[in-house]
Amino acid sequence: MKRIAVVASGRGSNFQAVIDAIRNGKVPAECVALITDNPKAYALERAKMSGIPCRIIDYATFPSREVYERALLATMQDVNADLFVLAGYMRILGASIVKAFPGKMINIHPALLPAFTGLHAQRQAFQYGVKVSGCTVHFVDESLDGGPIILQQCVPVLETDDEDALAERILMHEHECLPEAIRLFCEDRLVIEGRKVRVL
């Protein structure tokens, strides 16, 4: 059984979707840690309720990003997971961390990549006037939201939408997409071939 660790900064609804999928037997994995940069993250409450160990690396207590990232890398190495899942982690990971876990880190992004990278992807999509948005699970590399794509789901943008309504509908699909990508990883069914991910 694979060991996974979730890295999150906020309320942790995608983290909860992963916890539930493991509990329901849909994902053959053990969640061995929640790692967060935010001591006020609601994800911590979710971890405690599920008996998942927490590691808090509070960004605000470090003198520089470099020192923070050294501490984060050391924690990730100590956790020793087969897969690290970025689920609402609100920082860009430095190259040293990405290089330490090639093919062992995935991210969920609330847009159809390569469109609308970075923060506020739902707002970007809404303001651009697209008719379809969605979510993407991808492997993490040194680019911003640019790693090889594992899964995507489309979400129509309705005439009646505002940014929040669109974000909420995308989130429902994120809660399906992320556990499914983790399941495929844990079943050794993902093969990275250049830019593409083949699902066996």
Residues with a catalytic annotation lie at: 109
Q: H helices within the chain, ranges in order?
A: 13-23, 43-49, 65-79, 95-100, 121-128, 163-186
Beta-strand relationship, 54-56 and 83-86: unpaired
- Indicate the DSSP class of residue 117: -
CB 16 within 8 Å of CB 28: no
Cα 133 to chain centroid distance, Å, stands at 18
* Apex 34 CA angle, 31 and 35, nearest 5: 140
CB 42 within 8 Å of CB 11: yes
CA distance 149 to 29: 21
Burial class (CB in 10 A: 0-12, 13-18, 19+), 157: buried
CB 138 within 8 Å of CB 149: yes
